[in-house]
Amino acid sequence: MDQKHTRRQFAKFAAATTAALTFKPFYILHAKPKVDGETIGHGSHKYRVQQGWGNLDSLKFPIDNCHEMVQDSKGRLIMIGDEVKNNILIYDRSGKLLDSWGHQFPGGHGLTLWNANGAEYLFICDTNGKVFKTDLKGNVLMTIEHPSKVGAYKEADPFKPTETAIGPDGTIYVADGYGSQWILRYTPKGEYIDKFGGSGDLDSQFSTAHGITVDYRDKANPTLLVTSRAHNSFKRFTLDGKYLSTIFLPGAFVCRPVVKGDNLYAGVCWSRLRYYNQTPNSGFVTILDKSDKVVSNPGGTKPEYIGGKLQMMVQEKPIFMHCHDVCIDQDENIYVCQWNAKKTYPVKLERI
């Protein structure tokens, strides 16, 4: 069957199943290799693709999945992956490798930077069931283990942490996004406090609680933003875990929420290209303003609101496969980490 005929078929299906939903269907299932210099994005948030920015010698510095990236106070870009020859790769903004370390994180996934009055630390989530606090050289300073050890879980309950966030008082939040879907709270010393959320479809529950961050944009009232990826949503909570609201992002399987300035950024790991299902190789990046309105989708369709409701967002251009995280530098350039993307190093989107 030719592609045009396939598109016509799907367009008829979409029209028949959702009269109120208006979006252009796309069928981009295989990312293409060369897009350097292409401009993507919408409105005032447009970017020039630098696909080879983070490329390294794969024999010396191999990667499997680039999971997440943060930037320290010196401007260094620190990336975590699950290749134990070098879990951590540290770049400068030109894409030059500055350092590498880490051999003990086979499930290296979540990476959070905590600046404690000038002293910087990393929190590393290993989806095999541990959270580590380290210094910037990789020395392990604290370990959080299976919650059954503190009575928060039964021994048989899965614990596969995906992300952490650190509150203004040093409270540690652990998102068990691939496990039992709880957000667990610990003191700065790693002592268990309580948990909230869990698996389900209630507003206060999660379906893949993949990421978490503290949103300080309202300085007088910081809140938690938690990913509920299979719900295509971010959910907002008080710092003690009370549900406040949901940011629904139809079509977008979002990963970690990243706040920079007035904006909220996220990698979209999949979109709903085929029959509204989660479709392989369909990722893009999404950007929201301080009112939680989507203003740009680099690599995705232009955001559209009808009657105040955001319409379905999907991949438009096959630039990305599975966007797992983004890091935003001081010039508002975006660095994109990808999962399951043929061992692709981070891609830079230069702000125009």
pLDDT in tens, 133-179: 999 999 999 999 999 999 999 999 999 999 999 999 999 999 999 99
pLDDT digits (tens, 9 = 90+) for 39-89: 999 999 999 999 999 999 999 999 999 999 999 999 999 999 999 999 999
Q: Given a cut of 50, is residue 339 above it in pLDDT?
A: yes
Amino acid at 17: T
* Integer Cα distance of 136 and 240 in angstroms: 29
Q: Answer whether 337's CB lies under 8 Å from 84's CB.
A: no
- 3-state DSSP helix/strand/coil percent for the chain, to nearest 5? 5, 45, 50
Backbone angles phi and psi of 119, in degrees to 5? -90, 125
pLDDT digits (tens, 9 = 90+) for 9-34: 444 434 433 433 334 344 344 444 45
Backbone angles phi and psi of 10, in degrees to 5? -70, -35
Q: Given a cut of 70, is residue 8 above it in pLDDT?
A: no
pLDDT of residue 35: 73
Q: Answer whether 76's CB lies under 8 Å from 84's CB.
A: no
Q: Given a cut of 60, is residue 207 above it in pLDDT?
A: yes
* Integer Cα distance of 224 and 233 in angstroms: 13
**Residue by residue, what is the 3-state secondary structure of 297-342?**
CCCECCCCEECCEECCCCECCCCCCCEEEEEECCCCCEEEEECCCC
| pTM of the predicted model over 0.75 | yes
* Integer Cα distance of 240 and 230 in angstroms: 24
pLDDT digits (tens, 9 = 90+) for 209-231: 999 999 999 999 999 999 999 99
Q: Kindly indicate the confidence band of residue 129, based on its pLDDT and cuts at 50, 70 and 90.
A: very high
pLDDT digits (tens, 9 = 90+) for 28-42: 444 444 578 999 999
Count CB-CB contacts under 10 A for residue 139: 9
